[in-house]
């Protein structure tokens, strides 16, 4: 019974794929949503109670605090989702989406901190996963919050000439900064790391301001978490 976590994760992934497939047909759509939710429950149980580390299966550290955080999140999320008007649904989804982005960005922040001195010897794949999580999370958080503001009528459109061009420049700047951060951080220079966060946030603003509610690259975020676990 060493690999309970792996089996639970497998069930979780299966739940997501089958659930999404069922959601594509009107008859089974509602059940599909529940199947996907069950998949999520399996995955959470797996990571919390059956963590498969060097010292065998164990409950994860700080499990009380984690359970408390999940409790708070569940209560608040449930109430928000139940109380929202049907007409205000899109901005609610956008807001929740932004919360997921924030979560991804915070994960990367912590992973980066935990790496500490090991940053210098980190494999490129791992660095890519952390920095991509940070960038995608930040863009998705800021972008979703702007989309939320626009959908609920708090923010208006904002355009200026050459916006597309500037957006492309911004993307290149983010990639360049992330690249430079790899070698800079190895020497203990954190400047580029913060610069990546700021640039990603600005890009999130510029990206969503001229358009209507845009859905963030969900698949990339979905892939973001297994990469973190890799």
Partner 1 sequence: MDTIFNFIGENISMIYLVILMVFVGIELIGHVPSVLHTPLMSGANAIHGVVLIGAIYVMGHAAEDDMFSLVVGFIGVIVGTLNVIGGFVVTDRMLEMFKKKPEKGAKS
Q: How far is the CB of 203 from partner 1 (least distance, A)?
A: 19
Q: How far is the CB of 166 from partner 1 (least distance, A)?
A: 28
Q: 131 exposed, middle or buried (CB, 10 Å; 0-12, 13-18, 19+)? A: buried
Q: Which is nearer to partner 1, 80 or 169 (CB)?
A: 80
Q: How far is the CB of 144 from partner 1 (least distance, A)?
A: 9
Q: Which is nearer to partner 1, 56 or 161 (CB)?
A: 56
Q: Which is nearer to partner 1, 166 or 228 (CB)?
A: 228
Q: Which is nearer to partner 1, 105 or 195 (CB)?
A: 105
Q: Which is nearer to partner 1, 13 or 163 (CB)?
A: 13
What is the SS3 assignment for 53? Answer: strand
What is the SS3 assignment for 2? Answer: coil
Angle among Cα 184, 169, 222 to the nearest 5 degrees reads: 75
- Which one, of 44, 53, 42, lies nearest residue 3 by Cα? 53
CA distance 100 to 104: 6
Q: How far is the CB of 162 from partner 1 (least distance, A)?
A: 30
* Cα→Cα distances 96→89, 108, 143, 160, Å: 11, 19, 12, 29
CA distance 63 to 99: 22
- Which one, of 224, 222, 211, 226, lies nearest residue 20 by Cα? 222
Q: How far is the CB of 209 from partner 1 (least distance, A)?
A: 21
């Amino acid at each position: 019974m060493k690999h309970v976590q792996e089996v639970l994760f497998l069930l979780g992934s299966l739940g997501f794929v089958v659930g999404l497939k069922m959601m594509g047909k009107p008859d089974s759509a509602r059940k599909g949503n529940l199947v996907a939710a069950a998949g999520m429950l399996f995955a959470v149980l797996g990571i919390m109670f059956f963590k498969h580390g060097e010292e065998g299966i164990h409950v994860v550290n700080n499990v009380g605090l984690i359970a408390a955080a999940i409790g708070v999140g569940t209560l608040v999320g449930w109430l928000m989702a139940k109380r929202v008007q049907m007409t205000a649904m899109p901005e609610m989804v956008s807001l929740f989406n932004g919360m997921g982005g924030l979560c991804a960005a915070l994960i990367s922040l912590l992973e980066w901190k935990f790496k500490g001195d090991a940053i210098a010897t980190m494999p490129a794949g791992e660095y890519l996963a952390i920095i991509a999580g940070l960038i995608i999370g930040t863009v998705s958080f800021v972008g979703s919050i702007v989309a939320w503001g626009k959908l609920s009528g708090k923010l208006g459109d904002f355009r200026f000439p050459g916006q597309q061009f500037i957006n492309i420049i911004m993307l290149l700047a983010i990639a360049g900064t992330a690249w430079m951060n790899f070698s800079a951080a190895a020497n203990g220079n954190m400047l580029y790391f913060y610069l990546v966060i700021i640039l990603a946030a600005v890009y999130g603003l510029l990206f969503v301001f001229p358009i209507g509610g845009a859905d963030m690259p969900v698949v990339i975020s979905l892939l973001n978490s297994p990469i973190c676990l890799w």
